Amino acid sequence: MEFVHLENQQLVDPRHVNTYLPRRSIGLCPNSNLDPQVRHLPPPDGVLGFRGNPDVILRMEMERSMSLFQIMGDEGLVPSQEEEMKRRNAIDKLKKIVREWVQTVAYHHGLPKRYLRFASGTILTYGSYGLGVHNSESDIDALCVGPCFATIEEDFFIVLHKILASRPEVSDIHCVKGAKVPLMRFKFDGISIDLPYARLKVISIPEDVDVFNPFFLKNIDDTSRKSLSGVRANRRILQLVPNVEIFQAVLRCIKLWAKRRGVYGNLLGFFGGVHLAVLSAFICKRHPTASLSALFFIFFKTFAFWPWPTPVVLQDGVAWPFIPMDKVLWMPIQLPCSPYQLCHSNIVRSTFLKIKNEFMRGYMLTKLEELLGFCDPNPTEYVDVDASDPNAVFYWGLPPARTDMINIGHVEEEFLNSTKNVYQGPTGKMKLSIVQADQLPQKAHFGSKRQSAKPCWRIVRSNQRKVPAYYKYQPIRVDRYLTTNACPEYQSAGG
């Protein structure tokens, strides 16, 4: 296997160079067992343009996907069973409190006895918890759904507020009445909870109420409709994606990227959770057989070149939303449920440009994959102790994707042009080279057993001529590398 060696003779902050990639390499782990969630994945549907032995391609994709699942655990993106149980218990307790609250309100409103025992309310979750992509630090978006006689002004914000405030599990409770969706905010057993209210024109609310049933949505007020929109959007997304588990994994990875790259936060003019959920579902729905790692790459390729302000519409056969001529929408994303309105967005021109740059940056980091086949990045930052200037060194494993030699000029031009277009500021002295595994420094060896000779080519600086290449070795061809039976272990840059 050849390795791309990228050295920048400048002290580089890894948060700006490589934060998009998780800490562990998205690579090949030849001797590891496959995760049950990726073991039966079909081969990718031609989205990476890789040609070779289908069995090997499938294994590579599964191993890379498994690495992403491992990264989620390492980054704390998946709560432990103990934390998950704590959240479930909090929701169950909250449901019980709401049912008792409804009974109390019904009694004080003088509801006839024959109806009193039927009166009920419930709690519906949405947001990251409702989609199943929460982590140990996530709050819970929980909607209180009450019957027709329970008002928001008195019964919800006064009566229920007093009941909750008196509970030992509840702390830091306060009302946010002036929000677009009025709500109560508090901590329940230490878990932050946002609790808006929706009032339906019925007396009894079943625990598994169908939020798409016109019977329950008939003649409800505008506040209740807005409060229900989050639950309805979440449930429609989960109905539309072909594989819920893969969608959840993609969304976890994309949210991590957005937070690390500083493009997450609706209040600050960036993406909110619902925006990323729709974008991730859009990719999953259109590539139902692609693996997790392939979907991660396709996400950036798709939205780096999306013709904004063309809306992103998840549901097929739905007309584009009406956008007033006097209103500027930079990144319109449609909610996947009637009345098919746009997701609320605070994106402005400056944040739009930053998001576009981050999409392009993510795409640039997979440019080599399209040109050469599989790009197996090792995101660890190394330092060349023999160099006198501050520096940072990164490696990518590159098994060539064609039977002829790599088009060196094309790779050089695409890589350096992409770097100039996306990275803002001086790059210092950059050196890009392809080396064999046995030429890596001892600290950067990844366990590869393949033996070869000298580097194929080297670039010193973008404004200088190329150093003459050395062609004294026989280049490794992908057809021999992928189909060989002599070496069943396919090493990666990440080890």
Three-class DSSP category at 133: coil
DSSP character for 316? T
Residues annotated as catalytic (active site), given as ranges = 128, 139, 141, 194, 255, 264
Please state, in angstroms and rounded to a whole number, the distance separating the CA atoms of residues 390 and 484.
42
Give the torsion sign (CA, 236, 239, 243, 245). Answer: positive
Q: For residue 331, give every residue at least 6 positions away whose Cβ sits within 8 Å of its Cβ, in sequence order, or none.
A: 275, 308, 309, 345, 347, 352, 355
* Distance in Å from the first CA to the final CA of the chain: 12
Helix axes 222-240, 273-286, angle to 10 degrees: 30
Separation of alpha carbons 360 and 234, rounded Å: 28
Element (H, E) at 297: helix 292-304
Which among 386, 433, 493 has a CA at the least distance from the CA of 5?
433
Number of H helices, E strands in the chain: 15, 10
Helix (H) or strand (E) run with residue 55 in it: helix 54-74
| Token pair 């992928």: residue | 482
Buried b (16+ CB within 10 A) or exposed e, 223-245: bbebbbbbbbbbbbbbebbebee
> Which distant-in-sequence residues (6+ apart) come within 8 Å of 154 by Cβ?
none
Helix, strand, coil percentages for the chain (3-state, nearest 5): 40, 15, 45
Residues 51, 19: contact at Cβ < 8 Å? no
Burial 404-421 (b: 16+ CB within 10 A, else e): eebeeeebeebbbebbee
Q: Directed axis angle between helix 408-422 and helix 349-364, to 10°? A: 160
Coil, strand, or helix at residue 236?
helix
Rounded to whole angstroms, what are the CA distances from 197 to 13, 141, 152, 176, 478? 45, 11, 7, 12, 60
Q: CB atoms < 10 A from the CB of 82, how many? A: 8
Note the maximum CA span of the chain.
Answer: 94
Q: Which two tokens stand for residue 485?
A: 């039976």
Question: Do you find a cis peptide bond into 309, omega within 30 degrees of 0?
Answer: yes
